[in-house]
Chain A
């Protein structure tokens, strides 16, 4: 029958995206789909397709005026949150970084450098940058150290393999002339993160030191050293 599409194996991921957007998944499958969204760009694209196409069904839902006080509550929360939680900015927007990463990592590195200059000018020293990747592989993270060396921003540029709900992703500093990794903190496989550099390590964030990313048990390595696979590493360089 020509008007009854057959479900083929290739439809699986797209169908799941459609089912997720439609809202028919139960609680568990829904959460799984949401986790997949964070690191599977093809799946995210399929979800965006369905949101755009099915979204017009909302035209059939009758508008209902919300209670008069709702706006005031929202305005209050916005003011309260503004002072505590930083908003997601272009700086943390994954698509923004991916658009760079897809073109050229070097260009992205230069862009972070110029951004770092802009937000911290006048810089006491050229900013430190690192492009992190697997040996012989595509860069998977870009890192920029702020001008004083007190914090760094690390941005994933591709999905990180091995990162899942049962594991944490940890960033390490291997100081120049040293082989012992020092923990810098947990980072996110699908989102930009700004880390404060531990006070005792600030002076050791220098060019020729290296950064490395490892997959660790949930909450991070308990030994103080990387215990899981190192999925990306790279040297800090002055730009």
Chain B
């Protein structure tokens, strides 16, 4: 399905959810649960906990659909943000729960995900970000990817990439500022 069509269907379904339509919530679930479950599993590294959080995510969607503003955010971004926030909150609730496997190279944070199956974001948004990520130093883009996908703190990332905390903060902060400049161009 074309990304644009997918997007407008989701926007319409969320508007119906805002009006209290449970069938529309099921539609949103059918369209997005595999994506959001993937996001939760990746961060929590535990399927049963991820399932718990996934329930919270759709209950949040049910309660807050009226606050989704299609003029400001794309529906999938809004949903992914809820899934990531819930997962990271859960991860932070117990100290020292983050993934700690060493990161030696870009392969260690890449999913073998076939991107073509996953036209959830407007194509230009994805390619714009990909271009800008490509302009970062490799260690910066690895650290930013690991943080986004696995919900690691600065401390955990520093340990995983075997650099001092200050170095990690500086990589990521400079990387983020460079990304912002690139995305605003």
Q: Which residues of A contact B (CB under 8 A)?
A: 3-5, 7, 11, 14-15, 18-19, 21-27, 30, 48, 51-67, 70-71, 73-75, 77-79, 81-82, 85, 87-90, 92-95
Contacts and interface: CB of A to CB of B under 8 A. Distances in A.
Contact of A24 (B78, B89, B154): B154
B161 interface: no
Contacts of B153: 23-26
A48 B120 contact: no
A111 to B, nearest CB: 16
B76 interface: yes
Given A21-B81, A63-B113, 20 more contacts: A18-B180, A19-B173, A22-B147, A22-B148, A23-B88, A30-B88, A56-B125, A56-B129, A56-B130, A58-B35, A60-B111, A60-B145, A62-B112, A63-B117, A65-B33, A77-B55, A78-B22, A87-B66, A88-B67, A90-B18
A61 B39 contact: yes
| A-B pairs with lowest CB-CB distance, top 3 | A55-B77, A62-B113, A63-B34
A65 B32 CA distance: 10
B74 interface: yes
Interface in B99-145: 110-113, 115, 117-118, 120-121, 125-126, 128-130, 133, 144-145
Contacts of A59: 113, 115, 118, 120-121, 126
Contacts of A27: 92-93, 95
A64 B41 contact: yes
A93 B66 contact: yes
Contacts of A25: 153-154
B173 A15 contact: yes
Given A3-B178, A57-B149, A81-B59, A88 B66 contact: yes
Given A56-B129, A74-B29, A5 B81 contact: no
A70 B121 contact: no
Given A23-B147, A63-B38, A88 B176 contact: no
Contacts of B20: 82, 87
B22 A87 contact: no
Interface string B138-176: 000000110111011111010000000000000011101
Given A5-B178, A70-B54, A57 B129 contact: yes
Nearest to A74: B58
28 contacts: A5-B177, A15-B173, A23-B148, A26-B92, A27-B93, A53-B180, A57-B149, A58-B35, A58-B76, A58-B84, A59-B118, A59-B121, A61-B39, A63-B38, A63-B113, A65-B34, A66-B37, A67-B47, A70-B51, A71-B29, A74-B25, A74-B29, A74-B59, A87-B66, A88-B64, A88-B67, A90-B18, A92-B66
B72 to A, nearest CB: 6
Nearest to A67: B51
Given A24-B153, A70-B54, A55 B37 contact: no
A63 B37 contact: yes
Given A54-B129, A88-B63, A7 B121 contact: no
A225 B149 CA distance: 51
B12 interface: no
B55 A74 contact: yes
Contacts of A57: 129, 133, 144-145, 148-149
Given A66-B34, A70-B33, A5 B92 contact: no
